[in-house]
Structure formats: structure tokens, C-alpha cells
Amino acid sequence: MTSSLTRSVVLALLLLFLVGPFIVIIAASFSGGDTLAFPPQGFSLQWVVKVFMVQSFRSSFALSMFLAVFATFAALVLGIPASYALARYRIPFGETVRTVVSSPIIVPGIIVGLALLRYLVVPFRIDVILALFLAHTALVLPYAVRVVSASLDNLRSDIEEAAVLLGSSRLGAFFRVVMPNIRGGILAAFILGFVTSFNQVPVSLFLSGPGVQTLPIDMLGYMERTYDPSVAALSSLLAFMSIGIVFLAERFIGFSRYV
């Protein structure tokens, strides 16, 4: 179609634009200087070390980890049965249910955060962490439903009907026949949900209190207070963590098929 030279140029430019900033961040992480600059002045590990010394990073990392794991898990617990019902049952108002469940993806995060803060957290005195957990669960739910639904659509429904006819209970058929076949999809949904929740900023922007901050919000605040490369170092570490997870997922379940 295109000559191979043009193709190489196009791809090189695309990668420069998309991946270039990432390289800047990695390089700045190992800077010997006090400020974020590129090219970095000298080489040192001081900023990588500092990341682990900053107390607020430790607690916000723990909170973000907690949210990403448990909110995604909760979203799957809610989302898998819902996806199954939407795929296999003829239910009244099915489309409404689908719209409601996937609405958090369409409404901008900042509005979700503000609405939850003002009309759930403040009036009902709900703990901010619980509110964050609920908000992140709602946020991940659409991804869970979408990915799991796609897996279910690809699975022939007559196998489980056969299992039921052969005397298995509906529940037994689900766990013995359906679950093993959509395991990859569930894992993919989990990873997608994890990354979405972990990097989420707008929802958590309002839903944070003194001492309760997710990692990205903490990083934003840190950048406003101090201008040293430790945020770059932290970003690199997080990026490698994400890449590692996705790489393993691709290796074992072919992650990209599901996204």
C-alpha cells in the first residue's frame, strides 16, 4: 500500500510522539540534579530512593492499591452476574439496566466525584475511603460488564443448556461450564479495571480528605509543592509496574484480545 520508507517515517514519528515523553520521565528519574530537567544532569538513584522515603507516597500508594484491587473485585462480583443475565436471559428493561450499569463511563469523572461528595459523603457522613471505594467500583463496573459480556457473547450458550438438560443445576452449570470458559475475559477485565482505578484522577479529585489521598492526587499535590525529580521517579516505577502486569497478562491470556 504505502512504500516502506513512508511507513517507517510515519511509525517513527508516531512512536516519538507517543513514547518520547515516557523516555524523558525515565531519564529524569535517574537525574543527579535537584530539578526535573532533560537531558538530566548526571546520574544518581537518589530520587528513586526518595520515593520510598516520602511518607505520604507510601500511604497514598497503599490506598490506591487497596482501591484498585477491591473496587475491581467488587465490580466483577456485581458485573459478572449482570453480564450473564444480559447475555442469557430475556429480562424486562434489559436495555435500561445496561444503560444504568454502563453510565459511569459516559459521565465525566469530575462530576461523579463532586456529586458523591456533596450528596453522599457530606449528608450521610460516609467515610471518605468508603466513598472512594464505592465510586471506584461504579467506575470500573462498565468495563467489567463490557469485557465479560464480550466473552459471554463469544461462548455458545448451548453448552450450558446441555449441561442443564443433563441434570446440572443452573448454578452448577455456570461454575462448571461457563466460568472456566470466560476466565480469560474476567482476568482481562480485572487488569483493565485495576489500571483504570489506579490511574484515576478526576473522580478522586473531590473525594479526598486530609490524609486520605490516592496516589495520582498525591503526585499532583507534590508537584505543586516541590519541584524535584522524585515524581518522575515514582511515575517510572508505576509505569514499569503497569507494563509488567500487562506483559504478563498478554503472555498468559492474550490480554489485547479482550480490550
Q: Report the site for other proteins in 112-141 (rule: CB under 8 A).
A: 112, 114-120, 122-123, 125, 127, 129-130, 133-135, 137-138, 141
- Backbone dihedral angles phi then psi of residue 254, each to the nearest 5 degrees: 65, 55
Amino acid at 196: T
Q: Which three cell numbers stand for residue 91?
A: 429480562
- Backbone dihedral angles phi then psi of residue 228, each to the nearest 5 degrees: -115, 165
Q: Taking the complex as a whole, how short is the minimal distance between the CB of residue 45 and other proteins, in angstroms? A: 19
Q: Taking the complex as a whole, how short is the minimal distance between the CB of residue 160 and other proteins, in angstroms? A: 9
> Is 232 an interacting residue with respect to other proteins (CB under 8 A)?
yes
Q: Could you give the CA distance from residue 82 to residue 170 in angstroms, rounded to a whole number?
A: 15
- Backbone dihedral angles phi then psi of residue 208, each to the nearest 5 degrees: -145, 150
Q: Taking the complex as a whole, how short is the minimal distance between the CB of residue 178 and other proteins, in angstroms? A: 12
CB of 187 within 8 A of CB of 73? no
Residue with Cβ nearer other proteins (43 or 211): 211
- Which span (44-52, 146-154, 175-183, 224-232) binds other proteins, by CB under 8 A? 224-232
Q: Which three cell numbers stand for residue 191?
A: 487488569
Q: Taking the complex as a whole, how short is the minimal distance between the CB of residue 44 and other proteins, in angstroms? A: 18
Q: Could you give the CA distance from residue 33 to residue 26 in angstroms, rounded to a whole number?
A: 14
Within residues 75-94, the interface with other proteins by CB under 8 A covers 77-79, 81-82, 84-86, 88-92, 94
Out of 46, 50, 73, 187, name the contact with other proteins by CB under 8 A. 73
> Is 206 an interacting residue with respect to other proteins (CB under 8 A)?
yes
Q: Which residues contact 215 (CB under 8 A, 6 or more apart)?
A: 57, 60, 61, 63, 64, 198, 238
> Is 18 an interacting residue with respect to other proteins (CB under 8 A)?
yes
User: Does an H or E element contain 169, and which?
Assistant: none
Q: Could you give the CA distance from residue 155 to residue 195 in angstroms, rounded to a whole number?
A: 26
CB of 200 within 8 A of CB of 107? no
- Backbone dihedral angles phi then psi of residue 209, each to the nearest 5 degrees: -130, 180
> Is 187 an interacting residue with respect to other proteins (CB under 8 A)?
no
Out of 58, 177, 221, 253, name the contact with other proteins by CB under 8 A. 221
Q: Taking the complex as a whole, how short is the minimal distance between the CB of residue 128 and other proteins, in angstroms? A: 9
Q: Taking the complex as a whole, how short is the minimal distance between the CB of residue 190 and other proteins, in angstroms? A: 12
> Is 52 an interacting residue with respect to other proteins (CB under 8 A)?
no
Binding mask 140-179 for other proteins (x = CB under 8 A): -x---x-----------x------------x---------
Q: Taking the complex as a whole, how short is the minimal distance between the CB of residue 21 and other proteins, in angstroms? A: 3
